[in-house]
Amino acid sequence: MLFAFVGCAGVGKNTIIRDLLDAHRDEYDLLPTLTTRAMRPGESEGNPYCFVSEEEFKRQLDEGLIYEHQFIHKSYYGGSRLILEKKLQEGKALLKDIDILGANNLKTILKDTLPVRSIFLYVDSFDVLLSRLRGRGDAETDIQLRAKRFEMEMELSKTSDYMVNNLDREATGRSIDALIRAERAGKGFARAASCAEPTEEAVNQAAARIRAGETLEPVLLTFNGTELLITDGAERYLAAEREGAFVQKKITGLPDETLTRA
């Protein structure tokens, strides 16, 4: 299974990926992206990108060795078929930093190869993102390019499987670890005792909205230190499961260790 980390520049995608890999190296692995941009401080070949020239990137693209690509902030980014095939043989959960458009493309391109789940990281304030970008030494011209994509990326965030508010680095990492484990186990999410039990009528109404083509409001999840539990929208969750339809799950706030299963 592939977990695509998406979100605006500076939101902390690669930081969370590195933390997960450091803590669970035997279970998770990085799926590097090919890019033509320059290497930044703290990066190395294959972590989190494989760096190639624009000429080499275009050659691989022409030869069909790149299964998905985007041109972002004056550089090419793409997925390598050769790297993917090698990583799949290892049987680990794959983690990838990619833009939201690329993640949506992957779900279609790789639908017969492996399941893809997108995890959109965000913060409440755009000023926080600007501060992080300047703090990591990005040029002001590059920062302004990324700023122009902010509204588009936030609008497209509704298409991601999960939304995670990156308020706290440790809490975000533990929450995402829990959702990855739940996804890989295929066991879904239990309802918290504090969440009202949905009536059959409410589930049926939500299912009818799905069949009518409506997009349901996100199901809210909270991490209790052990697992993610549904704290709002149990009827939407059950309806989507019944209809085999998409409903976004949103992890809100910091862990609440008082939560128990219903």
Over residues 160-187, the pLDDT tens digits come to 999 999 989 999 999 999 999 999 999 8
pLDDT of residue 125: 66
Q: What DSSP string runs through 117-144? A: EEEEEE-S-HHHHHHHHHHTT--HHHHH
Whether 95 has a pLDDT exceeding 80, the answer reads yes
Report pLDDT for 132.
67
Residue 128 has pLDDT above 80, yes or no: no
What pLDDT shows up at residue 40? 86
Residue 261, pLDDT above cutoff 80: yes
Q: What is the average pLDDT across 63-78?
A: 91
107-136 mean pLDDT: 82
Mean pLDDT computed over every residue of the chain:
91
pLDDT reported for residue 12: 86
Mean pLDDT, rounded, for 133-154: 73
Residue 29 pLDDT > 90: yes
Please give the average per-residue pLDDT across 136-144, as a whole number: 71
Query: According to the model, what pLDDT value does residue 214 have?
Result: 95
| Residue 145 or 222, more confident | 222
pLDDT of 130 over the 80 cut:
no
